[in-house]
Structure 1
Amino acid sequence: MKISAVVSVGLLLAVSQPSTQKHIAPRIVGGSDARAGQFPYAAAIYITKPDSTTFCGGVLLSNLWVLTAANCIQGATMTRVQLGSTQLSGIDPNRLVVASDNLVFHPLFDPETLDYNLGLIMFRMAIILDDYIKPTSFFPITDLPGSAPVTALGWGQINDEVAGVHNDLQYVQVATLTNEECKLVYGSVITDDMVCVSGNYNEGICRGDNGSPLIQNVGGGHTLIVAIASFVSTNGCESTDPSGYTRVFPNKEWISNVTGIR
């Protein structure tokens, strides 16, 4: 199925802001191609809505659940979740596609401010896990500090000039900012459940990366899901403005209560 649109978290935030503040809109920019099996929890999500089909990322939490951004699946009538492959097209024996219309939204999700921008997709039956389809259900036990090294993933645009999703899963190393630092760019729209990240130059997420995970490697082969991609600056994906995410730590109780994952 062709992508007629990619989710752009733009929705120019309908909140009162001074004119000096930058608007929020939804890049992997400056990234590298992922190897097969490198991120076995990465999910590509095709979302069917009454008037369009859009694209987002997500992260596999278990053999039944995928975590993504709420505004990705808002208004959806059906989702198709691709797992197991780093490529969106081409022959790949490891690829699995699962359809589901069982969607759960964070009860405090605000589509105007993008506060609590988290949603869950439940499969109709448990999928079979293997080396290429494997959940990462390790949640952080503390909140993210500033300057923490993290990894952003996604199939979104790789620059502002070429529209549409990228066929190959991309990843890039970035670092977290404190919310005070992020507010210097975006102002008061940044809340405690959000976190911003920045690269050495302009690395970050782009349109189509919305819903994709921000991960942190903590050693011992363990990976933490620390946040879900939510927005970038309307100045463009290649600007040096930070990328915005929804934190998992303040919301892990809700995730656990819905999914039963501890």
Structure 2
Amino acid sequence: GIIGGQDATPGSWPWHALVVAYGPYGYKQCGGSLITNQWVLTAARCSPLPHIFKLKQQVIFYSVGRYNQSVKETICHPAFSFYCWTYENDICLLKLSAPVNFTDYIQPICLASEKSTFHNGTSSWVTGFGYDDSNSFSLQLGYRFSNILQEVNVPILGNNECRYITETDHLLKVTDLSLQFSINFSSQGDEREPLVIKAGSLWVQSGVQSYSYGCGGLSIYTRVSQYQKWISDTVTGTPPEECVTSEVWREVILDLNAGLAGLLRMWTAFIIKTGKQKMRRLAGRLAELKTYTEDDKTRN
């Protein structure tokens, strides 16, 4: 859950999903994000000890319409260890039992590209739910989460600042695979929330929460950009059209710019070459004219 946040406007975070995992000792609720019409991105720790316990998972797009989906397949990063608390490679993909239909309230999120950089102080947003005993709908399902999504604006901390803060904690290592943010979090409610930034007109997911230093403390996030290849090799379905379009047009524009630059260079060289040829022809004609003039003077 989130401390210091505010109620989100319906449809403002249409990719946010609530992941509920049932285990032998109850259930665990986490945040997730819809990245295609059939895949949800979340943290690996939302699926604890899969080799020991057969878990039942359910994804709830908790917005207008209460769109629920069961999970058909869980694929966590192969380098993540459920038995070691180093929080590295804490990322997981959930394949839904059936594709969802996109609406104004259910839309996928773009993912940060492999070359993305996040500077100290970059403004970001986190969304999530918390426990709410008064929510009759969630209690009927056996859950205790709020039916009002919360949002909070948080800044990114640079790796140097993160290393200074965590240098005495041997379990936590700030690497190129992780991001850290100054964030107001509650120790109750759902965990592993997505973190997003706005890049131009697009919303882009930059992190998945992996660890939080208690209530209102700092949080470490898995850096999504470092797992782009693994994600693209795993998922199927329809990605956000604007993400694909923006990438395609970015490449087209780059190619077009390169082409225009090359064309401009060719045109300039052509003009220069043509100009030189014309100047040589003109110089030749002037030389001929001078010769004729001198011959006329000699005859006279």
Aligned residue in 2 for 1:243: 219
Question: C-alpha separation between the residues in 2 aligned to 1:144 and 1:208?
Answer: 28
Quote the residue 1:232 is aligned against: 212
Mark the runs of 5 or more structure 2 residues left unpaired by the alignment: 133-143, 245-300
Instruction: Name the % identity.
Output: 28
In 1, Cα distance between equivalents of 2:196 and 2:189: 18
Deviation string, structure 1 residues 203-223 (Cα, Å, up to 9, x no partner)? 246443422110001122x10
Higher relative contact order (CA 8 A, sep 6+): 1
Query: Tell me, which stretches of 5 or more residues in structure 1 are unaligned?
Result: 1-26, 86-91, 159-163
> What is the match of residue 105 of structure 1?
76
1:252 CA displacement: 1.3
* 1:170-228 deviation per Cα after TM superposition (whole angstroms, max 9, x unaligned): 111111111221122222522321111115xxx246443422110001122x1001000
Pick from 176, 189, 201 the counterpart of residue 208 of structure 1. Answer: 189
Separation in structure 2 between the aligned mates of residue 175 and residue 157 of structure 1, nearest angstrom: 25
Separation of aligned partners in 2, 1:79 and 1:104: 13
Structure 1 residue 256 and structure 2 residue 229: aligned? Answer: no
What value does the CA root-mean-square deviation take over the aligned residues?
2.1
Partners of 1:104 and 1:248 in 2: CA distance: 15
C-alpha spacing 1:119/1:207, structure 2 compared with 1 (3 Å): farther
Residue 157 of structure 1: how far off its partner (Å): 5.8
Do residues 50 (structure 1) and 17 (structure 2) align?
no
Number of residue pairs matched? Answer: 216
> Equivalent residue for 1:197?
181
Say whether the 8 Å CA contact 2:62–2:147 is kept in structure 1.
no
Question: What letter matches 1:184 in structure 2?
Answer: Y
Q: How does 1:20-35 map to 2 (within 5 A)?
A: 27-35=1-9
* 2:109 maps to 1:146: no
Specify the code of the residue in structure 2 equivalent to 1:77. L
Contact 2:91 2:222 in 1 (8 A): yes
The residue that corresponds to 2:58 in the other structure is 80
Q: 1:124 aligns with which of 76, 97, 109?
A: 97
Amino acid at match of 1:115: E
Task: Provide the residue aligned with 1:218 in structure 2.
Answer: 199
Contact 2:61–2:106 (8 Å) recurs in 1: yes
- Code of the residue aligned with 1:190 in structure 2: it is K
Q: Do structure 1's residue 182 and structure 2's residue 162 form an aligned pair?
A: yes
Structure 1 residue 59 and structure 2 residue 33: aligned?
Answer: yes
Larger strand fraction of residues: 1
Q: Which amino acid aligns with 2:101?
A: I
Structure holding more helix per residue: 2
Q: 1:60-113: CA deviations, max 9, x gaps?
A: 00110000000111235111111151xxxxxx5x21100114100111113311
Shift of 1:147: 1.4
Pair member with larger Rg: 2
